[in-house]
């Protein structure tokens, strides 16, 4: 049978993919061996020379690993990916660059691959409050993949990623180990929020672990410092990083990402975002069903100068004010946007305290 040509207009791709029988090339859900039984056995043997407390901790970890097993399925791209990305373009119109990357990757894995979620590390750079974190959370939820969100601004060491050194009696595996080795899939989503604020330099810098983890070849034999006997295949992790000032990152780290500049939305785009956030409140909040179907344009216009993060806060508070007044529809009087004043500058000796 001759192959069908792929349409150039992405909006026609949905019908095209639905017409392709992928089941004939796929007998089961794809999977990968995240860790081996040999690694677990090596971990168990390492407990022999330890004191009782450490031996109990190692035995507990080994037991959990044997219970969950090292062979894990991949999270796969849902069949409604085209409709989802069309909706994402409406709710996050300033993220077109990322959405186009997703369209390309989803088309490749759905048509020519086995459907697994397989994406290069992506870095979203842009001003604060424009929806970078929200989009990453939305994407992970739709993929139904476990999400590990790390606040890199508060990370003082690489322990969250790579664990603490087994030399210490209170050594613990990192959160990546828990998410990957003890989790349900081989390709979880890991979000590195505000990566430009991470502490750099030194053996225990969070940045140090990323040099290995962001390279597929070295990531395929990643070892947590607390459980070095069990190498993990972390090469399938989908990494999403966000920055406000990407220039603060080291060149080696930047080079490991597909770097996308996300602009602040235009006023026209913000108005779309306002209506999208309002629709999301109606859909997801337990009280959302009581709200009027559409947000008035004059109310949306009041929020057009706010960031997406602030819009959500103002809309929720406006809904509360309307409820207190016995209404399900929002009016301009329900929206209160307080102007922030600059902090008072202290002059003199006390200003240095």
pLDDT tens-place values along the chain, 353 residues long: 333 344 444 334 344 333 333 333 445 689 999 999 999 999 999 887 677 777 888 888 999 999 999 999 999 999 999 999 999 998 899 999 999 999 999 999 999 999 999 999 999 999 988 888 888 888 988 998 999 998 887 765 567 788 766 555 556 888 999 999 999 999 999 999 999 988 665 555 677 889 999 999 999 999 998 889 999 999 999 999 999 999 999 999 999 999 999 999 999 999 999 998 999 899 989 999 999 999 999 999 999 988 888 899 999 999 999 999 999 999 999 999 876 644 444 344 343 33
Structure confidence at residue 290 (pLDDT)? 93
**Cα dihedral angle (264, 269, 275, 281), rounded to 10 degrees?**
-30
User: Residue 286: what pLDDT?
Assistant: 95
In degrees and rounded to multiples of 5, residue 200 shows phi and psi of -115, 160
77 with 176, same domain: the answer is yes
Q: Which tokens belong to 35?
A: 């860790």
Q: Does any domain span residue 215?
A: yes
Phi, psi of 303 (to 5 degrees): -100, 5
**Structural domain that includes position 99:** 10-16+73-261
Contact 123, 243 (CB under 8 A): yes
Q: Residue 209: its pLDDT value, please?
A: 86
**Residue 29 located in a structural domain:** no
Pairing of strands 222-224, 227-232: antiparallel
Helix H or strand E segment including 231: strand 227-232
Q: For residue 346, how many other CB atoms are within 10 A of its CB?
A: 10
| Last residue within a domain, chosen from 234, 261, 288 | 261
Residues 327 and 179 in one domain: no
φ, ψ of residue 116 in degrees (nearest 5): -65, 150
Assess contact for 223 and 174: CB atoms under 8 A.
Answer: no
CA-nearest of 338, 301, 296, 297 to 317 is 338
If one counts the domains in the chain, the total is: 2
- Assess whether 226 and 271 both reside in one domain: no
pLDDT of residue 165: 65
**pLDDT of amino acid 201:** 57
Say if residue 111 is in the same domain as residue 247. yes
Residue matched to tokens 């009027």: 292
- Same domain, yes or no: 291 and 208: no
Do 297 and 273 share a domain, yes or no? yes
Choose among 242, 297, 286: nearest CA to 128. Answer: 242
Quote the CA–CA distance of 143 and 75 in Å, as a whole number.
Answer: 7
Question: In the listed set 261, 288, 321, which residue is the last one of a domain according to the structure?
Answer: 261
Joined together, the tokens standing for residue 22 give: 């992928």
pLDDT at position 28 is 65
| Separation of alpha carbons 337 and 96, rounded Å | 29
Fill in the DSSP letter of residue 116: B
| In a shared domain, residues 86 and 229 | yes
Q: Are residues 115 and 250 in the same domain?
A: yes
Contact 191, 234 (CB under 8 A): no
Give alpha helix (H) positions in 185-328.
206-213, 216-219, 251-254, 267-284, 297-302, 308-324
Within 8 A by CB and 6+ apart from 30, the residues are: 73, 74, 76, 114, 115, 116
Confidence at residue 158, expressed as pLDDT on a 0 to 100 scale: 66
- Asked whether residue 232 is domain-assigned, the answer is yes
Cα 189 → chain centroid: 5
């Amino acid at each position: 049978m001759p192959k069908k040509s792929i349409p150039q207009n992405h909006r026609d791709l949905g019908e095209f993919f639905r017409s392709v029988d992928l089941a004939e090339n796929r007998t089961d859900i794809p999977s990968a061996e995240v860790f081996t039984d040999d690694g677990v056995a090596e971990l168990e043997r390492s407990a022999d020379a330890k004191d009782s407390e450490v031996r109990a901790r190692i035995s507990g970890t080994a037991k959990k690993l044997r219970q969950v097993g090292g062979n894990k399925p991949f999270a796969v791209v849902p069949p409604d990916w085209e409709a989802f990305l069309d909706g994402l373009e409406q709710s996050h119109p300033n993220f077109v660059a990322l959405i186009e990357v997703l369209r390309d990757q989803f088309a490749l894995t759905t048509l020519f691959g086995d459907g697994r979620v397989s994406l290069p590390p992506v870095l979203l750079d842009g001003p604060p409050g424009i929806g970078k974190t929200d989009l990453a959370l939305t994407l992970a939820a739709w993929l139904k993949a476990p999400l590990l969100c790390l606040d890199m601004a508060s990370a003082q060491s690489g322990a969250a990623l790579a664990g603490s050194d087994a030399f210490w009696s209170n050594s613990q595996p990192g959160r990546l180990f828990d998410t990957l080795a003890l989790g349900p899939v081989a390709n979880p989503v890991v979000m590195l929020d505000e990566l430009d604020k991470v502490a750099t330099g030194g053996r225990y810098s969070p940045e140090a672990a990323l040099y290995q983890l962001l390279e597929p070849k070295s990531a395929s034999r990643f070892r947590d410092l607390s459980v070095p006997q069990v190498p993990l295949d972390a090469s399938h992790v989908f990494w999403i990083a966000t920055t406000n000032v990407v220039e603060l990152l080291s060149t080696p780290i930047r080079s490991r990402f597909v770097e996308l500049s996300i602009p602040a939305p235009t006023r026209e785009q913000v108005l779309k975002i306002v209506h999208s956030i309002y629709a999301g409140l109606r859909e997801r909040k337990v009280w959302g069903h009581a709200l009027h179907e559409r947000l008035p344009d004059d109310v949306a216009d009041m929020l057009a100068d706010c960031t997406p993060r602030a819009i959500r806060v103002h809309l929720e508070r406006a809904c509360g004010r309307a409820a207190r007044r016995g209404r399900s529809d929002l009016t301009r009087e329900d929206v209160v946007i307080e102007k922030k004043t600059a902090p008072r500058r202290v002059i003199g000796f006390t200003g240095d305290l």
